[in-house]
A = this chain, B = another copy of it.
Amino acid sequence: MVQNKALVYKKLPSGTPVVGEHLAIEALDFDLSQPIPDGGLLVRGLYFSLDPYMRGRMRDPLTTSSYVPAFPLDKPMVAYGLVQVIKSANPKYAAGSIVFGIFEIAEYSVAAVPARFELPIGQTIDSKEFVAAAAAGGSKKVNGVELSYYLSVLGMTGLTAYSSLYEIGQPKKGETIFISSAAGAVGQIVGQIAKREGLRVIGSVGDDAKLAFIVNELGFDAGWNYKKGETPLEALKRLAPEGVDIYYDNVGGEQLDAALQTMNVGGRIVVCGMISQYNLPADQKYPIKTLGALVSKRVRMQGFLVNDPDFGPKYLKERNERISEWLAEGSIVCKEDVSYGIDSAPTAFVDMLAGKNFGKAVVKVADPE
């Protein structure tokens, strides 16, 4: 028996989740020698990805349907994660290897494949190189990159950015793209790809350090801090006087409203998320009155699920090749906001929902052994 700490979903939040009330770290006994179901794995948690869509799983399973099932109460929350196999009942995953998938946010867990891999991305990592390098006292990297990158630019987040920008955004040289939450996990990747495609790139962020980051480090053409008093409509009229061709929406609400009012004819709105609205009760959500733009500007506005077989997976190989190349040559920045230790997970999650993270939110629980 070992002690196993996990991030447990405790109570349905009506608004912003509160640490200790709606989610909390709980320690449970864990039997490392327990039997594993056929096809399953007993794993050690290494890194976990904290993403806005997870807020949508903290809901009443009876009243709201969505693309991912609701989290069950009093169970560990699950997330995209990198784990190391301790004991395997699945010939595809040897003990010691590092696996990418959906796992409990915990120090240890048993994953019943394929039930746990309910949103498989088709990506696993051979840990041999990593373990060998670490054993030799070298850099703890896999394929030359930080292991955590497999949760960000080389993981679901990066594939989300890559596939949706091309599939829905259809960027064309000379166009203007506006990206909300531009320093965030997805926004920073979208913006850098859009720059490579020759677009004028404008971003909104929630503090001045992020503004400096997107302009100075990511090469955005312009941006603004939406907490500084200027309305999104004022900012877009100032920074995109020729109008917006693509709006990459991570936040919804007032910024979506402003984007709708500044879209050019034939514009596209990639609806990746609406994080400003997730914690609001239905009647308090921002009222959008400008959808007439869809008619007058013949705009396409589309949500997506990166794991749809005809969405993200279509771009997986191309994403892996191109982004690996950009990482190797140092021409793409991947900023992560790593919190350390399982105990940091609840606060890191709530902070991520509030936009306090600076870069992709990741929790590091352990190094592989």
Contacts and interface: CB of A to CB of B under 8 A. Distances in A.
B287 A271 contact: no
A289 B286 contact: yes
Interface in A258-297: 265, 271-274, 277-278, 282-283, 285-297
A171 B301 CA distance: 19
A304 B291 CA distance: 13
Contacts of A278: 292
A133 to B, nearest CB: 40
A299 interface: yes
A14 to B, nearest CB: 15
A308 B298 contact: yes
Q: Give chain A's interface secondary structure class.
A: loop
A42 B283 CA distance: 57
A61 interface: no
A128 interface: no
A305 B308 CA distance: 29
Top 8 A-B residue pairs of the complex, sorted by shortest distance between their CB atoms: A287-B287, A294-B303, A285-B289, A66-B296, A300-B302, A298-B303, A271-B294, A288-B288
A56 interface: yes
Contacts of A302: 294, 298-302
Chain multiplicity (copies): 2
A66 B298 CA distance: 9
A223 interface: no
Interface string A342-360: 0000000000000000000
A53 to B, nearest CB: 8
Contacts of A66: 296-297
Given A67-B265, A265-B67, A298 B291 contact: no
A271 to B, nearest CB: 5
A274 B289 contact: no
Nearest to A301: B301
B300 A289 contact: no
Contacts of A64: 296
